[in-house]
Amino acid sequence: MEESKSIMFTIQSWQVLGPVFLVGLLWLVRWVNRQERKVKVMQLAVLLSFGIYLLCVIHFVFFPIDVNIGQYSNQTPWYKTINFIPILTIDVTTFLLNIIMLIPFGMYIPFLNKHVDSVKQVAKHGLMMSLSLEILQLLIRVTLGSGRSTDINDLLANTVGTVIGFFIINVLWKAESLKTVLRSFQL
């Protein structure tokens, strides 16, 4: 009788994101120690909260990863899990959730890089972030047999969410009473 040659297990987010969080904290401590100027507590709060936000995004987008390689792997070819048709194939709930997921990213951008100050630049950052997530999903699908799909509508929604977040922070930035406070959080 022939032995089954399948590999099947699940990778939970804590198994990956726990160590990533610890490495991130170590990097943050080292970065602060190497700075020539004094880093303010508010700036550390921005960096730490941004790191936690990124870990949450990674958690929602990628995990759990169901590894399924071998005889019982998903039989759908990976290239058939890519949706290239924009707008017409939108799942409204998923589209809205993708917008909401990247609104904070658009709000963080002016704090992390004060030179990014136009909608075009922010949209480019949102598109690059979303493209990175989609390519990683595709790579995980191809290499580990995960059931995730890659969707052009996610790129659109994530970019829109980033721009909305940037608009929200710009409205707050225009309020004279908040301008000084917000500026103290910028890196």
Is 1 within the bounds of a domain?
Answer: no
* HSE of 61, CA atoms in CB hemisphere, 13 A: 28
Is 158 within the bounds of a domain?
Answer: yes
The two tokens of residue 21 are 């969080």
Domain that holds residue 147: 6-185
Number of domains composing the chain: 1
Is 34 within the bounds of a domain?
Answer: yes
Whether 75 and 147 have beta carbons less than 8 Å apart is answered as no
Question: 168: how many CB neighbours lie within 10 A of its CB?
Answer: 14
Residues of the chain with pLDDT under 50: 1
Predicted structure pTM score: 0.87
The two tokens of residue 32 are 């602060």
Q: What was the pLDDT predicted at 181?
A: 86
Q: What was the pLDDT predicted at 1?
A: 45
pLDDT for 27-62, tens place per residue?
988 888 888 778 788 889 999 999 999 999 999 999
Q: What was the pLDDT predicted at 3?
A: 58
Q: Which residue has the tokens 């759908």?
A: 76
Q: Where are the beta strands (DSSP E) in the chain?
A: 6-11, 65-70, 82-83, 150-151
Distance from the Cα of residue 42 to its chain's centroid = 22
Is 38 within the bounds of a domain?
Answer: yes
Q: What was the pLDDT predicted at 143?
A: 85
Residue 43: φ, ψ to 5°: -70, -40
- Residues 25, 175: Cα–Cα separation, whole Å: 33
Is 119 within the bounds of a domain?
Answer: yes
